Amino acid sequence: MRYRFKTVTLLLLFIYQLNLHATINGIQLEIVEASQYGTVHIPLVNKRLDITTNMFQLGYMQAGKSTTRLLNDNSYYVITLKDKYSKAPLHIITNGAYMKKRPYNAGVLTEVSFILSKDLLGPNYNKKALDNRLNTIAKKVIKRKGFVLDNKSTIDYTDILLYKNGTHVVYKPYDPDILTLEKMIKENKLSYQEAHHFVYDKREKRVVKHNSKKKKVKTLYRLIVFKHIPNNMSLGTEITILKPLRVGSAPVDGFEILGDSMPFRIDNQGKVTLARALTQTRYSFNAVAHTKDGDSNIIEFNIIIDPVKEKKFYKVPE
C-alpha cells in the first residue's frame, strides 16, 4: 500500500509544507542524485525558497508533486540548502521512496550523516553501503524513537530525518552537544573528525542526583498513522490495528478517538474500523492511548480517501 504525506501540522510540531519545485526566494535549494553528487551535473531541482527564517528553523519539508515525478524510489538524493545566515550549506540525504510520502527536516543530525557518508556518494555511490551507513549512524545517536511510522518501532535513518532540536530522543550528554555542532556548521568549522567523534566515540558519563520523593516523569512518544483507503470501503471494514503500546512503564488498556465527527471507530485492542459513510477526501484526527493511571499517548491519524474508478460495462445489443 502506498502512503503519501501531505499534512501541514503534526500537532506539537509546526511543519512548513513546501513544494520543492516551486519558485520562491530566501533559501537556495538544490536536489541531485547521490550518484552524481560532486560531479559536473544538472541538478534535479534548483530553486529558491521564499522563507525569511534560517535553514535550521525551516521546519519539516515535503516534496511537491512536480518534484516527486522526477524521483526514483530506489535512488538516494542529496538535498542542499544555503542561506545568508550561515557560511556553509546544510545537507540531507534521503531516498526517492521516502521523499514521496514523508516529511524530512534539515539539521545537525542530517549534516553529520552527510559528512560521514560523503565517501559513498558521487562516483563511489553504493546504495546498499549507504543504507547500512545511515542506519548505523541513527542507531549510534538515537536512543529511542520520537515518532513511530507505520507501526515500525526499530530505530533507523528515518529517526534522523524526523529529528527536531529539543526533542529528547538522542543520547546525552555529548561533547560537543547539538547546539555547539549547529554553531560549528553555521561557521563552516565542523570537520569530519568532530562529526565522527559525535557519532562513534564513547559518550561522557554524567552523574545526576535524583530526588526520590519526586514522581519520575514517564517517557511518552507520539504514534503517527498514515493510510490510504478506497472510497467504496464497506462499513465495519478494518482499516488498521495499532501495535501494542506502552505509556511509560504501563501497558495501554484502551483507546479513544478525540471528537465525535469522525466516521471511524477504535476498540480497546487498537482495531480501527469504518463506522459511517465517507464524505470527505481526507481525514486528520487524533486518538489517545490511555492507561488505568490516567497517562496517555497521542496518536495522530491521517487517512486519505482514494477514488475507485468504476468499471464500465457495455450492454450487448440483442
- Are 174 and 159 in contact by the 8 Å Cβ rule? The answer is no
**Confidence at residue 117, expressed as pLDDT on a 0 to 100 scale:** 95
List, for residues 260-289, the tens digit of each pLDDT value. 778 998 888 888 999 888 988 888 888 887
Confidence of residue 218 (pLDDT cuts 50, 70, 90): very low
User: What pLDDT does 291 receive?
Assistant: 73
pLDDT of residue 37: 93
The more confidently predicted of residues 312 and 151 is 151
What is the percentage of the chain residues whose pLDDT exceeds 90?
A: 30
Note the pLDDT tens digit of each residue in 90-123.
Answer: 999 999 999 998 889 999 999 999 999 999 999 9
CB 289 within 8 A of CB 250: no
Q: Which secondary-structure segment (H or E) carries 194? A: helix 192-200
Q: 151 exposed, middle or buried (CB, 10 Å; 0-12, 13-18, 19+)?
A: middle
Residue 110 pLDDT: 96
Stronger pLDDT, 172 or 197, i.e. the higher one: 197
pLDDT digits 0-9 by tens, 253-262? 788 888 777 8
CB 24 within 8 A of CB 40: no
Give the single-character DSSP code of 204. Answer: P
Whether the per-residue pLDDT at 205 is higher than 60: the answer is no
Out of 2.60.40.60, 2.40.33.10, 1.25.40.10, 3.30.565.10, the CATH code matching 222-306 is 2.60.40.60
Looking at residue 246, its pLDDT comes to 57
Tell me the domain boundaries of the chain. Answer: 9-200, 222-306
How many whole angstroms separate alpha carbon 301 and alpha carbon 263?
Answer: 12
Instruction: Please compute the mean of the pLDDT values over residues 185-211 and round it to a whole number.
Output: 72
The predicted structure's pLDDT at residue 22: 35
Specify the pLDDT at position 21: 37
Written as nine digits, the cell of 68 is 516527486
Percent of the chain with pLDDT over 70: 77
Report, as an integer, the average pLDDT of 76-89: 93
Residues 155, 157, 161: CA angle, nearest 5 degrees: 115
Rg (CA), the chain: 22
Give the pLDDT band of residue 313 (cuts 50, 70, 90).
low
Mean pLDDT in the chain?
Answer: 79
